[in-house]
Structure 1
Amino acid sequence: MHQWTISARRIALAGMLCVASSASAQYAGKSAYPLGQGSAGPTAVDDQSFRLVLGFLSRFQYVKQPADEAYAAKVLQVYLRQLDPQRLFFSREDVADLEAQSSQLLASNELAMPKNIAARHAELAMQRLERAIGLLEHGVDDAAAETLDVRESYDAPFLSSQELDERWRKIVKSDWLQLRSAGKQDDDIRRLLTQRYRQFGVHVSTTDSEDAVQRFISAYAMAGGLGSRYMSPRNLVTGLLPKLGLTVVADAGGPVVRHVMAVGSDTRHAIRQGDRIVALSVDQGDMIYLDGWQSHDLATLPEGTSVHVQLRRYGVGAGGPLREATLAPVKEVPQDVASFRMVRAGKPASSVAVIGLSTFYQDFRARQGGDANYQSAARDVEQLLIRARKEGAAGVIVDLRGNAGGSATEVADVAGLFLGDQPLWRNNTEKDGTQIVTTERKAVWTGPLAVIVNGASAEAPEFFAAAIQDHRQGLIVGKPSAGAGNTANLISLRRLGSAQGDLALTLGTVYRANGENITGHGVVPDIDLAMPIQHALRQGPPLVSFDSIEAMKVTQANDLSKALPALQRKEIERTASRTARTVPIDSDALLAAWPIDLNASTTYAEADDEAAQPDDSELLNHVAAIVIDAKRELHW
């Protein structure tokens, strides 16, 4: 998270003072929603956590958010999508009933209504899954020519009760045909699907009961579209997945892989960036279904333990093909460090250095403690750039695919390694107004440069890419970035009494050198590149974007206006001349392949089968060729 001069302690103290009255002052009365009366009520910890979050958002967020009826309606929409991300259980009629009572959602009756809504969701889920089990008795209609659209979308509408019946019939049929294509007999299919649906039902009812309030607090923080986020202590972001060599982004539909760490070929082959982990089992035990909120801390797994995971490709929902993989926990969890490799491209072949960053890391505690050798992304990248020069690199690629953000200081310093002390971007906060961001770093590399971004590149990598693009210091290639250009402080609520969780509180927004606001727009590449992941690995309401401001005067290193058309034309020609094996499948093309056919002849071979996907080296060789072309066009 980004570090600001505003005092976190001052924010915390003021937040504690205001929370006692801020919610109750808005409403009076009790929740009218009648369902779930038997469920346990919110705890004192839940109540304190919510009131702290409410206070921070209403007092210190970049745009203040009053807890009024209009905001309650937004919170309800986000909360329902947190509970039912694939629109499988709440019907359109259920949602309409709740919308009529949304004014009671933030009532002074503490957090009763969110708890009751979750209980209703669990009830509907159990009913729906039992109906699905009933459909298994008579098998499926093999002859019917029909399709099932399995694409996920945050904005997808809730279905009517009749439409839900039909969707579930098709989901059961799809699940049945997938198992049949794997060689299972009908009796085995009934047994396996009955077990799967019942285990999922137990999962929904258990997590709804335990996590209802945590989900609601998360929905409250997200509903304003300003990027503030509440992280529950139960979010699946530590323990299990790093131990498996993965970093993830928590999502209501299940954890989504943001980055596969360099822990061996087995994990890299089995799981890709963007995969959603649906369920797991340990040492052939029962499958545990995941929704991004359950915390399964397997950090202490002994050597030799196996973890079996079920996953779906990003953007694919219920009924879509399931992949399976068995992973072994790593002995030591890899650290976030910059990676380095050399690739060759062009005729005659030239070497291009690739520097990968999954985050702009900094060991803040070590730095505060006076450790001169604290871990620093900028320091590591500087050494790698020096190494690239010594090894005769003709160009450099900075790979920011899936980069999750990081330290504001580090991203500015890394930018300075290419731009020196030039103005980079502008931060705008209520406290400090608009301030130009610079760094004292001296430029280490001013030669041919390409920066790779995709929809999972969010916040800090977007600031870096925008600065490189605005100064014409290099080419941006890939897909549009996430468009998450706000800056935040991370506040630990558990340090403020009886609360729990962390709040990423948005305190400002970033304007790039050309005056545009990054939020909601992202960084659009100079050269579009076919890549497996295009969309942002974040499900939530669209972020609010702000008007542009006056552009800064900056020195542009290269005149790309004349060279870009030629480079873009060469990229089109290069892509057209390569085989399917050497050109990555674009995620738009992948998702367009689903709806999937539902008939007995369907093999359910995935559209992005391993045989059709290039490995990472081929993609980087592709980008290296662009760097060499740019070197020639610009006489770099």
Structure 2
Amino acid sequence: MKAFIPGSRLLLTCCAVATGMAAMAQAPADPNKIPAYHSAVITHTIDKIKKKHFNPKPIDDTYSAAVWNRFIYTLDPNSYFFLQGDIAQLAGYKHQIDDELNTGSTAFFDATYKLYSERVKEASQLCTEILATPFDFSKKESVMGWRKELPFPANKTERAELWRKLLKYYTLRHYMEMKVAAGDSAVTLAGVDTAIEAKAREKVRKFYESFFRQAMGNKSAEEKFTQYVTVVTMEIDPHTVYAGPKDQSFNEALNKRYFGLGMELGTKEADYYVKRLLPGGTAYRSGEVKENDNIIAVADSKGDMLPVTGLAANEVTGMIRGEKGTAVKMTLQQPGEKARVVTVRRDEVIDMENRAKSAVVEKDGKRFGYIYLPMFYTDVTGNKTNGAFNDVAREVEKLKEEEVAGIIMDLRGNGGGALDEVVRMGACFVPGGPMSWLRAKTVINRYNSPEMPPLYDGPLTVLVDENSASASEIFAAAMQDLGRGLIIGTSSTFGKGTAQMNVNIGKLGDPQQGTTDVSYGSMRLTVEKFYRINGTSTQLKGVIPDIILQDKMNLLSFVEKDFTSALAFDTVGVMPFKRVPLTFDYNTVVEKARTRIARNTAYMAVAANTQRLKALTAQPAALDLATFRAQYLQSAGYEKAIRDAKVLQDSQRLIVSLSANRSINPLLRKDEAEKTTNKDWLQRISTDVYIAETIQVMEDMLTHPMAATNTH
């Protein structure tokens, strides 16, 4: 049994990534040595998995077919490069990849990459020819804009027609965006603006010119090989991920320190948008960048505006990051609004402002505490004084001084983080005792929160959504199993019940023989599985809230069960534990909340418009201007309706203020500066429909105390 883990390297975070984001390992400069290097990478990676993975899959024909399918889809996600004959030609490898991996062979990769290179070259010529002529926007035809797992073209003629339609679709989309960006929301149907059509077509041409330049460049083979090895690892389980030796993105996030503008990017099909602004970043401080901004283009090293649609995530990130003090020029656009060009200077971001923080919400004469925690981060200095646990503990103490009647712990979007931080955080709310069980190959350990009275023992709720993962699920599950408070949120959390550690891949040299160490990259490897204190896994199923607000908060969100390679759900036998006595009537509080939610028009609007948007997205895109315009505006309308429904009306807005440390002399505090920095954050809390319902739940917890005969 363990109270906490000093210096723990276990990572409890939702770290499944797209294969295109993997960093490139350092291949030899001599082309003649590359085949041996590739073979060594495969051999050492598979050996590491077999020896150290928690539950490695058999490297057999079933696994082989999964790798075959995933890698082809990774290279050609839109099914518009390869022909059906190519797939038939590669089918011979479908049940041979397992034998190749066990022997270090790269025959499947070599054959697939050779075909891919040929088809990309042909597609490049197609693009040049098709985009040289204006499109006919009056012709009635359609195409699936997002062709995930759709059939490959039967022949080159069919492929050419597919490319023509897709390029027309991309041009139409840019045409609409340009017209709306220019303020022409009506987009006159009297005729096509030929100048705008030419500009839209040129935008598409420049994008594909950049894409093909990279796809056929000197580094292409190594980039695609890295993607192949990543596919191999992620088919063992989605969180076992191969990376090159210079991939520091995860450690930067975990330590809350990185370099750039301070923006978290999200993806929608092949487009990028600003998912979240970090208050410590220059993007936030500039006031020119907004959350939900679509990123249309970013200036390249020559100053030319390069469209980012379809670029790999690491490319977009690379364009935004750069030397301290240099500027990033971007074209941004809120959905359905005029585009704008902004320039923001890069700076070092130490994400202090976006760490745990708290506010006070007042309603009906009562004061409730609200704590926001975006991640279970560690202390960048390594001394643990400023990690997530200590930061949350400080916020709890501030809220106690504010004399709040209850506390909301908001873990929505919290993808996890460090194991020791979530284990120690139990001390904030529960007496010393179990927080989780972690099972390795041969042993299972219980992880206990520190043996001390809880910092706070009043009413508690935990807000979660489908993006609350790993460490967030440990915390929410422990609070639920112990009966410490109510879990509120989406139909389930992410469902990641595994723990990873970083391992290096390579071989040690021998100084006496004059040989040096050789690195073949690194891997985030699944080494343990964690369980709730009742012995049930969170794997696949996640944590099911006591009170469900919505099925999902975001249409585009994915969860663990969406990965075909995810490990299975299971249970283990564990020691009994003692629940915290309930202070409220569970059944009454939950039933009242369910009744309110069923009648809540905002939740109804979100659900209805989400379904409409989903149905519209599944339809083929029309390629005549009139019908395309109608679909475009309809989609924008649904998105706006969803956004609007999640915002409380003015008459319903909550009264929110930043919590303050009352033990410090007001003259020594920086209250006004803190309020200014957190102004937008406080505004979002005051208009959040989900926080409003959680406050009502907490009111019910206070007004319906535990009856002597009631049990839960």
- TM over 0.5, shorter chain: yes
Partner residue of 1:628 out of 671, 688, 696: 696
Pick closer, same or farther for the CA change 1:458–1:300 going to 2, 3 Å: same
Q: Which residue is equivalent to 2:566?
A: 543
Match of 1:492 in 2: 504
SS at match of 2:361: strand
Residues of 1 paired with 2:201 and 2:338: CA distance? 17
Deviation of 1:271 (Å):
4.1
For residue 292 of structure 1, the aligned residue among 309, 313, 319 is: 313
From 246, 263, 281, the equivalent of 2:299 is 281
Tell me by how many angstroms 1:448 deviates.
Answer: 2.9
Q: How does 1:190-589 map to 2 (within 5 A)?
A: 190-206=201-217, 208-225=220-237, 227-233=239-245, 237=249, 242-247=259-264, 259-262=276-279, 263=281, 264=284, 270-272=290-292, 280-282=298-300, 284-285=303-304, 287=306, 290-294=311-315, 296=318, 299-303=321-325, 305-308=327-330, 326=342, 328-335=344-351, 338-342=355-359, 344=361, 346=363, 348=364, 350-363=366-379, 366-367=381-382, 371=383, 374-432=385-443, 434-440=444-450, 442-479=453-490, 480-493=492-505, 497-530=517-550, 531-532=553-554, 535-536=557-558, 540-550=563-573, 552-558=576-582, 560-573=586-599, 575-576=600-601
Residue equivalent to 1:97: 89
Q: Which residue of 2 aligns with 1:53?
A: 45
1:135-154 pair list within 5 angstroms? 135-144=130-139, 148-150=143-145
Report the alpha carbon displacement of residue 98 of structure 1 after superposing the two structures with TM: 1.8
Deviation at 1:519, TM superposition (A): 1.4
Q: Work out the CA distance in 2 between the residues paired with 1:415 and 1:102.
A: 48
Bigger mean CA offset, 332-341 vs 232-241: 232-241
Are 1:74 and 1:224, in contact at CA under 8 Å, matched by a contact in 2? no
Q: Deviations over 1:323-381 (max 9, x none)?
A: 887462442313265332425364x25443332222211238x54xxx4x543211110
User: What code does the residue aligned with 1:548 have?
Assistant: T
Do the aligned partners of residues 220 and 255 (structure 1) sit closer, same or farther apart at CA in structure 2, a change above 3 Å counting?
A: farther
Letter in 1 for 2:174: L
Question: Following TM superposition, by how much is the alpha carbon of 1:411 offset from its aligned partner in structure 2, in angstroms?
Answer: 0.9
Aligned counterparts of 2:244 and 2:296: Cα–Cα separation in 1: 19
Q: What is the TM-score of this pair, normalised by structure 1?
A: 0.78
Amino acid at match of 1:535: S
In structure 2, do the counterparts of structure 1 residues 242 and 86 end up closer, same or farther at CA, with 3 Å as the change threshold?
A: farther
CA gap 1:227/1:485 in 2 versus in 1, 3 angstroms: same
Deviation of 1:40 after TM superposition, in Å, equals 7.8
Q: Is 1:593–2:616 an aligned residue pair?
A: yes
8 A Cα contact 2:589 2:701, kept in partner: yes
User: Structure 2: how far apart are the matches of 1:180 and 1:7?
Assistant: 52
Question: How far did 1:266 drift?
Answer: 5.9
Using the TM superposition, name which of 377-386 and 612-621 deviates more.
612-621
* Structure 1 CA distance for aligned equivalents of residues 406 and 265 of structure 2: 31
Report the AA paired with residue 121 of structure 1. Y
Tell me if the contact between 1:78 and 1:222 (Cα under 8 Å) persists in the aligned partners: no
Given that residues 8 and 420 in structure 2 are in contact (C-alpha distance below 8 angstroms), is that contact kept between their aligned partners in structure 1?
Answer: no
Taking a change above 3 Å as real, the CA distance of residues 261 and 147 of structure 1, as seen in their structure-2 partners, is: farther
For residue 306 of structure 1, give the secondary structure of its aligned residue in structure 2: strand
Identify the range of structure 1 (374-383 vs 513-522) with the bigger mean alpha-carbon deviation.
513-522
SS state of the match for residue 429, structure 2? Answer: helix
3-state DSSP class of the match of 2:463? Answer: strand
Match of 1:22 in 2: none
Please give the secondary structure, in 2, of the residue aligned with 1:451: strand
| RMSD, aligned α-carbons | 4.2
Partner of 2:115: 120
Change (3 A) 1:196 1:288: closer
1:161-201 CA-to-partner distances (Å, cap 9, x unmatched) read 37765654442232222233223533333333222222222
Partners of 1:236 and 1:473 lie apart in 2 by: 37
Higher Rg of the two aligned structures: 2
Q: Distance in 1 between matches of 2:438 and 2:699?
A: 33
Q: Note the alpha carbon deviations across 1:202-233, whole angstroms, 9 max, x for none.
A: 23333632312211111111112363121234
Change over 3 Å in CA distance of 1:482–1:148 after alignment to 2: farther
> Which region of structure 1 is more displaced relative to structure 2, 41-50 or 391-400?
41-50
Which deviates more, 448-457 or 260-269? 260-269
State how far apart, in whole Å, the 1-side matches of 2:69 and 2:526 are: 21
Shift of 1:69: 3.8
- Partners of 1:536 and 1:276 in 2: how far apart? 20
Q: Is the 8 A contact 1:472 1:557 kept in 2?
A: yes
Local SS of the residue matching 2:348: coil
Q: Within 5 A, what are the aligned runs for 1:609-620?
A: 609=640, 612=644, 614=647, 616-618=684-686, 620=688
- Residues 7 and 556 of structure 1: CA distance in aligned 2, closer, same or farther (over 3 Å): closer
Q: Do the aligned partners of 1:42 and 1:112 also contact (CA within 8 Å) in 2? A: no
Counterparts of 2:82 and 2:297, CA distance in 1: 22
C-alpha distance 449-70 of structure 1, shift in aligned 2 (>3 A)? same
Which AA in structure 1 matches 2:625? Answer: A
Whole-Å Cα distance in 1 between the matches of residues 48 and 527 of structure 2? 10
Q: Deviations over 1:82-115 (max 9, x none)?
A: 3233434234543343232234432646435324
Q: Is the 8 A contact 1:520 1:545 kept in 2?
A: yes
Cα distance in 1 for partners of 2:137, 2:285 equals: 39
What is the rounded CA distance, in whole Å, between the counterparts of 1:65 and 1:494 in structure 2?
A: 22
Following superposition, the deviation at residue 410 of structure 1 comes to 0.7
Structure 1 gaps, min length 5:
9-38, 314-319
Q: Distance in 1 between matches of 2:591 and 2:60?
A: 51
Tell me how far apart the structure 1 counterparts of residues 296 and 45 of structure 2 sit (CA, whole Å). Answer: 29
- The residue identity in structure 1 corresponding to 2:389 is A
Structure 2 runs not aligned, ≥5 long:
10-30, 180-194, 509-516, 648-682, 706-712
Cα distance between partner residues in 2 of 1:131 and 1:562: 65
**Letter of the structure 2 residue corresponding to residue 616 of structure 1:** R
Separation in 1 of the partners of 2:259 and 2:394?
26
Q: CA deviation at 1:50?
A: 3.0
Q: Cα distance 1:325–1:377, how it changes in 2: closer, same or farther (>3 A)? A: farther
Q: Residue 503 of structure 1 aligns to which amino acid in structure 2?
A: M
Relative to structure 1, the CA distance from residue 362 to residue 472 in structure 2 (aligned partners, 3 Å threshold; closer, same or farther) is same
Supply the AA of the counterpart residue of 1:134.
E
Is the 2:137–2:625 Cα contact (8 Å) retained in structure 1? yes
Query: What is the distance in 2 between the residues matched to 1:41 and 1:312?
Result: 49
- Is the CA contact (8 Å cut-off) linking 1:140 and 1:173 kept in structure 2? yes
CA shift, 1:234, in A, is 6.4
Closer, same or farther: CA 73–465 of 1 in aligned 2, 3 Å: same
Q: Which whole-Å CA distance do the structure 2 matches of 1:134 and 1:116 have between them? A: 28
Task: Tell me by how many angstroms 1:421 deviates.
Answer: 1.8
C-alpha displacement of 1:506: 0.9
SS at the partner of 1:54? Answer: helix
Question: 1:178 & 1:255 partners in 2: Cα distance?
Answer: 15
SS in 1 for 2:112: helix
Structure 1 residue 463, shift from structure 2 partner:
1.3
Contact 1:400 1:457 in 2 (8 A): yes
Residues 147, 252 of structure 1: CA spacing in aligned structure 2 closer, same or farther, 3 A cutoff? closer
Give the Cα–Cα distance (whole angstroms) in 2 for the partners of residues 322 and 216 of structure 1: 40
Q: Is contact 1:350-1:393 (8 Å) kept?
A: yes
Q: Which residue identity is paired with 1:416?
A: A
